Each structure stands twice: as C-alpha cells, then as structure tokens.
Amino acid sequence: MKPAKQQRSRTKFIFITGGVLSSLGKGLAAAAIGALLESRGLKITFQKLDPYINVDPGTMNPFQHGEVYVTDDGAETDLDLGHYERYTSVSLGQRNNYTSGRIYHTVISKERRGEYLGGTVQVIPHITDEIKKAVRQLEDEVDVAIVEIGGTIGDIESLPFLEAIRQLRTDLGRENTIYIHVTLVPYIKTAGEVKTKPTQHSVKELRAIGIQPDILLCRTETTLSDELKDKIGLFCNVERDAVITARDVDDIYEVPLCFHAEGLDDKILKLLNIWTGAPRLEPWQELVAKIKNPIREVPIAIIGKYVELKESYKSLHEALVHGGVANDARVVLHYVSAEDIEAQGPSQLLAHCHGILVPGGFGGRGVAGKIMAITHAREQKVPFFGICLGMQLATVEFARNIAGLADADSTEFNPGSPHPVIYFIKEWYDYRTSRVQIREESGELGGTLRLGSYPCTLREKTFARAAYGVEQVDERHRHRYEFNNEYRERLVEAGLVISGTSPDDKLVEIVELADHPWFLGCQFHPEFKSRPMRPHPLFAAFIKAALDHQG
C-alpha cells in the first residue's frame, strides 16, 4: 500500500503551547510573534484553542476566566484574541476561537444526525479530526497562522488538541509547521540560582505525547546566560539559538522588541523557510518611548465589581493606556470597588481622581455604588465615561435625579419598575444580516445578547461627534438591555443629550450631558477596537478631558 500523500498548504503554521504553570503569557507571546511577522510584510492570522468544556466564554464568571472579548461578527471569545488584535492589524471572528465544548458539540451533533453511519465515535479520530478541520480553515488565506493551545502541558483536557497538532505536522509537512513551547525558568532567591529543571520536565511531558518543540520561550526575570541556554538546549534537544529569553518587561508593548533582540523572528523564518526583508520596528520603538516618557500623568477611577481581578477589564485597561499615549500622558488606574462606594460614599474614594469610568457588567451587585459614583461625577463636574452598563446606569441616575422619575430603573434589576428607562428589547434590526433579530427573555442565557458590530450615527455638536470627527461609526456590542424609547422625549426635555443612535434612530447608542466638561455614556464597548498605535477616539477624548480637569 502506498503511503497517503501529504496535503501541502501555502500557509505556514506556528503552534504555541505552555508548560509548568498557567499565566506564563502564551497569548502575549503569540501576539508579539504576530507583530514581528507582520512588520516584515507577512499576512498573518491567529487561532486560540481552549480545552474547557464551555461552548464559549460568554457565560463564564470573569473571576474565573477574565474578560470576554467580542469580535465584529459577534463571537464571544477568550481575552487572548484581544491581544492578537491589539498587536496586529488582523480582524478575528468565530473561527478564530474554539473550545472543547464547541468541538464536542459539533461531533455529537453529527453523530445524532447519523453522519458517522453508526460507527463508534471516538476521541481519535473523530474529535481530533474536527480540531484539525477547525485549524485548517485558516489555510491558503494567509502566509502564517499562529495557533495557541490553551491550558498547560499535562492537563488531561488538552490532550485531544495536542494530539491534533501532532498529527498536523504529518499532514502539512515539517517545513510548514513549527512548535513553540512557553515555559518557566525560575530564579530561586534563597539559592541565588536560576533553575532549568521545570523547563526540562515540561519538555519531557511534551515529547512523551509526540511533540518535539522547535523553539523554547523561557519566561524568566533576567536574561539567560549562554551557559544556561546551552544547558537547556542540550537537555531539551533544542538548538541553542532556539532557546529564547522571554524576560519580564516593564510594559507589555516591549515584548516584540525583546523577542526581536533575541533573534526569535529570524529563527522562525529560518525554520519555516520563509524569506522576508528586515522588520519595520520603528512604530513599536516610538510607542514604547511614549509610554516610558510621558509628559503628564492623570489618575482615573474605574468603578467595578471585579476589581480584584484586573484581567476582567483587560481591554478596558489597555484602551485607557492607549488614550494616555494619544495625549502623551501616563494614565494611573485606580480600581475602586462599587460596593466600597456603597459602604463609604464616593467623596473620599474618588476625590483624587480626575476622571471616572463605569464599565460594563451584568447583575445587580454593586449597582447602587456605581450610581453613586455617577452622581458624584455629574455634580462635581468630573469627566465621566460610562460603557454599556455604565451608560444604562447614567440614564437611570439622570432619570431619578434630574428628570423627576424617582423610581426609574432597569428591568434587569427591577422587573416591576414603574419607570423602566432601561429594558429588555425583544427585537431589533440587525444590519449585518439585514433582518429582524428576535430574542425571548426566558431563552438560554447565552442567546439573548445583542452581539458584534453595529453602525451608529452621530449627532453634530456633541462630545461624540467631536471625538470621532465623522458622521457614522461601527462599534462592537455585548448587552441584553437597551434604552427605552418610551422615556426618550421626557429625558431629552430634562436635558439628556442623545448623541448617537442606530441609523434608523430606533436604538439609542450614546447619551451625554451638555452642561458638563465631558460626560458621555455609550451602549457599545469601544475598548474592543482600541489599538496602541490607533487609540480609540472616545478614550483619547476622555483622557484629554481628565487632563484638562486636572489643570
């Protein structure tokens, strides 16, 4: 019997795995590699394969999973896709993030439809084939696809993904695939030594399942010496110049420059047999210089309920940093618990901040504290930025305290409110599909959101129009409740400015206060479209207003 012919691909694949422990920065490493390859003129894309059984991260607790990132096409994805988009020019979507739950759901659905002709459905080949099919969707559209495997080597749930990428080397060819393993080389302070054993054991685990890493990214506090690189290379069967120091940096946007200094991009191109010109790294150098040498500094308060885990607000954090870059300023972020404001009041907790931001969120916990913070911002004329829930609560606060609707509320928190200024919308026109979307409040939790990119028309002579400088924009949404148009006329008469709506004027997207230095709430999530070299206009305008308030 003749051996099966390998199916060659124009696209080269980089598979990134992690060992020893979680939070080593595989996502940032993948993003930085993408930035380096893109700086050389290559067309790239990314994919994140997550081992957990949830179909998507949309209903997962931010304390466990961190931020849910939303793409233009409405995919609720892992936060690493935010890193990928911020570091490069790619636009990602549904096919760029797969979980075990999504893969198994597809296979089980096929089995129920009889597509396996009554055969026994197994992890190998059925699950692994479905994973490979998901990966190979990226073929022939880009020069390089960077695929990150979530979890840590040794986790039982990640084994099907690792087996799939092991098989893909045979399917695609050695010259079209490389494996990069991110691992830990810790410094043991009491011994005064850097230890390579965790990396050796991690690579041993990886090799035991049939994957020999081509490159090692060694997370460490300091630069690895040549002697240590020799030792790691010897015991892990990796070339010395493929042992890369991935040292801790002061700012995450330094990572591409550090990797280039270590020769990582040159090594990748050599292994994949790709020729390119030299990278254009000047934009990254200028960005890092701006971040490290700001002219001014401004403190901003973020009022949330997940403040113990900063990963819950990852894109928001970065967008505020980008807003600072646009103004040659360092943004000092103060995460303030909404429940602390409820207990202590806003005056003391927010007195030192020159901008107040209330982000998105779900559920009633902390809502009273967020509304108190909004009242403080409105009365004290502190620049205010409300995002999603923050915009909805700004509407509630205005209705209660300015428009005379003392019992105004959102039906999310008070279904029986006599004045539901924010309510669950059951249908709206979807500009992406050109049809009406219908949602039932009693439906599955993951199926009742307005998700993805929608157009917004901006009114002239408003904060929003001044920031964007154009009449229409597209922004990403992730929410279940909307501004109730039954109260629109009354709130406008009381002084609320509606500065952004859907093109058909049926959905309120942005509200403002005219008699305020800068007070804006938007229904969408602008943080998902902010980039370090293209800061989002609303964040740039908010930080400028905060700097002006500071004087």
**What is the per-residue pLDDT for 65?**
66
For residue 400, is it within any domain? yes
For residue 291, is it within any domain? no
For residue 59, is it within any domain? yes
Same-domain status, 309 and 213 = no
Same-domain status, 270 and 150 = yes
**Picking from 294-303, 375-384, 424-433, 486-495, which range would have the lowest pLDDT averaged per residue?**
424-433
Q: Which residue carries 């219908």 as its tokens? A: 438
Q: What's the CATH number where 368 sits?
A: 3.40.50.880
Same-domain status, 313 and 274 = no
545: pLDDT strictly greater than 80: yes
532: pLDDT strictly greater than 60: yes
**What is the per-residue pLDDT for 288?**
97
**What is the per-residue pLDDT for 427?**
79
Same-domain status, 95 and 128 = yes
Q: What is the mean pLDDT of residues 180-187?
A: 95
**What is the per-residue pLDDT for 21?**
86
The yes-or-no answer on residue 527 being catalytic is: yes
CB 468 within 8 A of CB 458: yes
**pLDDT band, very low/low/confident/very high, at 435 (cuts 50, 70, 90):** confident
Examine the fold and report which residue of 262, 286, 310 is the final residue of a domain before the chain moves on. Answer: 286
Same-domain status, 218 and 300 = no
Q: What is the mean pLDDT of residues 297-302?
A: 96
For residue 2, is it within any domain? no
Catalytic residue among 83, 181, 354, 525: 525
**pLDDT band, very low/low/confident/very high, at 9 (cuts 50, 70, 90):** low
Same-domain status, 312 and 456 = yes
Catalytic residue among 218, 388, 456, 522: 388
Residue range 330-339, pLDDT digits in tens: 999 999 999 9
User: Which domain covers residue 377, as residue numbers?
Assistant: 296-550
Distance CA 286, CA 256 (A): 13
Find, among 475, 480, 484, 438, the residue nearest to 457 by Cα: 475
Distance CA 366, CA 389 (A): 12
For residue 3, is it within any domain? no
404: pLDDT strictly greater than 60: yes
Same-domain status, 280 and 418 = no
What single letter denotes the amino acid at residue 198? P
**Picking from 52-56, 239-243, 267-271, 388-392, which range would have the lowest pLDDT averaged per residue?**
52-56
Residue range 21-49, pLDDT digits in tens: 888 899 999 999 999 999 999 999 999 99
**Picking from 283-297, 343-357, 436-450, 473-487, which range would have the lowest pLDDT averaged per residue?**
436-450
Q: Compute CA 182 distance to the chain's CA centroid, rounded to the nearest angstrom.
A: 20
For residue 6, is it within any domain? no
Same-domain status, 356 and 420 = yes
Same-domain status, 278 and 372 = no
For residue 49, is it within any domain? yes
- Percent of the chain past pLDDT 70, that is, above it, reads 95
Same-domain status, 186 and 334 = no
Mean pLDDT over all residues of the chain? 92
Q: In terms of pLDDT, which residue wins out, 266 or 437?
A: 266
Q: Tokens for 21? A: 């422990």
411: pLDDT strictly greater than 60: yes
Q: What's the CATH number where 103 sits?
A: 3.40.50.300
**Picking from 75-79, 94-98, 240-244, 388-392, which range would have the lowest pLDDT averaged per residue?**
75-79
**Picking from 56-70, 106-120, 501-515, which range would have the lowest pLDDT averaged per residue?**
56-70
Same-domain status, 269 and 343 = no
- Residues in Cβ contact with 70 at an 8 Å cutoff, skipping those fewer than 6 apart: 76, 77, 451, 452, 476, 477, 478, 525, 528
CB 196 within 8 A of CB 235: yes
For residue 185, is it within any domain? yes
Examine the fold and report which residue of 231, 253, 286 is the final residue of a domain before the chain moves on. Answer: 286
Catalytic residue among 397, 482, 527, 536: 527
**pLDDT band, very low/low/confident/very high, at 108 (cuts 50, 70, 90):** very high
272: pLDDT strictly greater than 70: yes
User: How many structural domains does the chain have?
Assistant: 2
C-alpha angle with apex 435: 138 to 45, nearest 5 degrees? Answer: 15
HSE-CB for 174 with a 13 A CA cutoff: 6
**What is the per-residue pLDDT for 1?**
39
Same-domain status, 260 and 374 = no
Q: Which residues pair with 450 in a beta bridge?
A: 479
Examine the fold and report which residue of 286, 306, 328 is the final residue of a domain before the chain moves on. Answer: 286
